[in-house]
Each structure stands twice: as structure tokens, then as C-alpha cells.
Amino acid sequence: MISRRTVLTATTAGLALSQFPKVLFASQDVAKSYRIGAAEGEHSFYEGAKPSKLWLYNGSAPGPAIFATKGEILEVIFVNHLDEPTTIHWHGIRNINAMDGVPGLTQDAVEPGDSFTYRFPLRDAGTFWYHAHNKAWEQVSRGLYGPLIVKEEGSQSEKGDIVLLVDDWLLDEEEQIHTASLGSLHDWSHGGRHGNFLTVNGRSQPKIEIPAEGPVRLRFISAANARIMRFSLNDGLLMRVVAVDGAPCEPFDIDEVALAPAQRVDILLESGATLQSVWEISTGERVMAASFERRNALSSGLPPSLRAMPWYEKPNPAGARQVDIHMQGGAMGNLMSAEFDGTTRTLQDIARNEKKLWAFNGKIGSYALDIADVKLGDVVQLNVWNDTRWRHAMHLHGQHFWVSSQEFEGGARDLLRDTYLMQPGERAEFLFVADNPGDWLFHCHMLEHHAAGMGGVISIS
């Protein structure tokens, strides 16, 4: 259950996204360059709170918001001030493979005191985020993440464009990260690490300013390790979905929005005049997540309705390269043994001695596990079967895929996603054009599941 600490007074929250990374220079070759450092730091989740010791980007929780424009080249000079290696993954960006931020696969980990320059073009406008990708199950849970919003070319600053970056922290009685539970085998074999303290933009129950009149766009982003959150608005206001995982979609209306870890959903309200609050409802209890205050201004630059087309049409599955992915393992599962490092061992042995519990096609996953090798330009269909007792948020790096989504009320919808929530026993087809060369990670974004073996590599050459 999300802790009642979420209802403690939090009167001065506002948007934690007001701290922007420093713009170093601009040129025809590099539109924007930023400097971001990872270091230990302290952060107060609400007014009067005891400072919590976290790991932060540029000393803020969440990390500094990066705003950029489609077509620009983004450069981020990253410096690691931690005592352990780390990297940054740019989640949802159809990236250059060498800039994807996966240590041991696309780059070497950035060692303590070292730096790495990420430099890549922004092909798509949408809602994205960035986060640590070395020991992500720990580094993300300690605070290493931030939002990345890419606007369309020629778009203006939009007063009604609001980021809601949500997280559930696992804190102890001193409101510090519950470090004793990090690496818990129970979490790794069950539903993952669930927190007890809800924040929006790094604050408990922030009051967020919105225009007094005009349309409002709410960009929901989940930075949770494993919790699947659900949100509703005050008085049952309908929410019009206009984008999922950054990609525009045919708009549809819902009463509540579900967010698995790493997913994003953009909601458009044609008028924010009656918008008062957003509530988290996944536990069956309505918990105030954030409230809204109106300023004496009109929303500008935000169209009353958004009907942008997806980045690319759903490809024809006829003749697609078929890749079967059988997901097994975890507590109460049917996996008795699996191959690990070339040797078949009992799952009990692997779990006890290696902390590995999940498998693809009978093999414990890793960056060395080849799921498929496909050619550039191939149409690929991943036939994914969640043959486990747990839900999994399956994420494909470097691409978006079409899927018949069962995640929203009102029946199945064809959506372009990069992270899809699969229910126990569900079979789904992920369809995409392999137009981005490189070695791309496919894994569960319940970060403990990934650490315990639910991941592998799809190579496009």
C-alpha cells in the first residue's frame, strides 16, 4: 500500500522541473549541449521533511528537465561523481546504438570520476525520460532519472503543457531509502520492488500551476521500479489519450490511466477550467497525488485537439520475420531448470547461487543472450508469451513496435509503444520495421525482473 505519508502537508511543492540543465553552447552541428552529473545528495519530499539521502542528477529530484526540438542534435556531457559505475539510457528515443547507454552492450560503464558524452539526433517529438542503466534496480530507486520532452519543430512554449513524473519510493521510518531491502530475492522472484511513498515531480502532493482557461496537456511518466499505478482526475473527468510512450495515437477517452514502469501517456483536456486534482487509485484507496492551482493566464500554443498521426504506419505482418519469445520463471512458475552460462541447472540452484530466476526460451537472460539476428529493413514480429504468474512491462530499446494493446478500458487498440504491460498468460505480437541498426536490449522494465534474468538482445545488421 502506498504510505499515508503521501497525505502529509506539502504546500510548497510546485514543479521540481524548474531546475534546467545549463545550456553550454549552440551551433549548426550541436543544437544544444547540457552538462549532467550524478552524485550523492539530499532532497526534501515535502515542506518540513527530514532530508532524504538520494543519488541525484545535478542535485535535483527528479533530474533536470531536458526540453528539445525534433530535428535537433542533443549533446549531454555526463560526469559520474558516484562511487560506482553508471550510464544514462534515453528511454524511448530511437537512438544511435552507441548512445543507448547500456553498459556491456552499447558502451563501457562510466567509472567513478570519469565522463562520457552522449550525442544523438532527435528523430521524434514526444514524451521521453532518461535514467541510470547500470544496476538500474538500485540506481533508479535511489533517484537517478529525469524527463526529456521533445517538441515539434516551430512549437512555442505552452503554458498548459504539464509534466507529471510519478514514482513510489521505498522509505524507512527515518524517510531514507530502505537500503536493507535492495536486492531482495523475494522482490526479484515476485512482483518487483514496490514503494510506500508517492511523489509527483519529486514532491509529495505538489500544487502545480495551470492556466486559468484553455486546454491542458498532462504528460504522465512512470519512474517506478515495479509498481503499476493508476490515476484518475477529480470528479471523474474524462481523459483524452493523445499519445502513448511518446508516439501520437488516434485519440480515445478513458476514466483512468494505468502506467506500468517506464510507460508514458499524454492526456489532453480541452479545458482545464474544472481540473483540480489527480489521484492514485491502484490499491483501491484514493490517494491524492497532486493538486492544481490556476494562474491568471490563458493556455497558449496548445491546440484544442491533437490528431497527429503515429510516427509510422503499422507494417503488413505478411512475410514478417517471426521471433518466438517464451517467458518463464519467477515464484510459483513452471520453470524447473534453465540454461545459464551454457550449462543447464535447476532453477532452485540458479536462484540460490546466482540470483537468476527468469528465462527466455529456456535460457536465463543476459546481454550475451541472442534472441534474434535480423536484417536492416526487415519487418519483425516478436511473438511474446508471458508464461509466468506475474505481470511484466516489456521494453524494446531503439525501436517502437505496434501491438494490439489490452491495457486500456474499452477493448483492444492498435498502439505504437516501446513498453507494453503483459498480463500473466498473455500472448502478444510486437510488430516493427527493423530500421535502426545495432544490438538492442529487450527486457522487462520491472527492474528486479531484468536483473534476475528477463532480458536479451535483438541484433539488427
CATH domain 7-155 topology: Immunoglobulin-like (2.60.40)
Residue whose entry in the numeric block shows the C-alpha cell 511543492: 13
Segment 390-439, tens digit of pLDDT = 999 999 999 999 999 999 998 999 999 999 999 999 999 999 999 999 99
Q: Which of 207, 174, 195 is nearest to 49 (CA)?
A: 174
CA pair distance 80, 58, nearest whole angstrom: 11
| 131-142 confidence digits (pLDDT tens) | 999 999 999 999
Cis status, amide bond into 62, omega within 30 of 0: yes
Please tell me the predicted confidence (pLDDT) of residue 236.
87
**Where does the pLDDT of residue 301 fall: very low under 50, low under 70, confident under 90, or very high at 90 and above?**
low
Residue 236: phi and psi, rounded to 5, are 65, 30
Q: Is it true that 7-155 and 321-460 share their CATH fold?
A: yes
Model confidence band, residue 159 (pLDDT cutoffs 50, 70, 90): confident
pLDDT computed for residue 307 by the predictor: 54
Say which residues have a Cβ less than 8 Å from residue 130's Cβ, sequence separation at least 6: 63, 66, 88, 89, 90, 91, 145, 146, 147, 148
- Alpha carbon distance 455, 280 (integer Å): 30
pLDDT of 213 reads: 86
Pick the CATH number of 165-298 from 2.60.40.420, 3.10.580.20, 3.40.640.10, 3.30.300.210: 2.60.40.420
Using one digit for the tens of pLDDT, what is the confidence trace for 344-403?
A: 999 999 999 999 999 999 999 999 999 999 999 999 999 999 999 999 999 999 999 999
Give percent of the chain above pLDDT 70.
90
CATH superfamily of 321-460: Cupredoxins -  blue copper proteins (2.60.40.420)
Distance (Å) of CA 323 to CA 327, 380, 456: 13, 7, 13
The DSSP H or E segment spanning 351 is helix 347-354
DSSP per-residue codes, 352-373? HHH---EEETTEE--TT-EEEE
pLDDT at 306: 53
Which pTM value belongs to this model? 0.92
With 90 as the cut, is the pLDDT of residue 18 above it?
no
Domain locations along the chain: 7-155, 165-298, 321-460
CA–CA dist 393, 420 (Å, integer) = 5
Q: Is the pLDDT of residue 204 over 70?
A: yes
Residues in the chain: 461
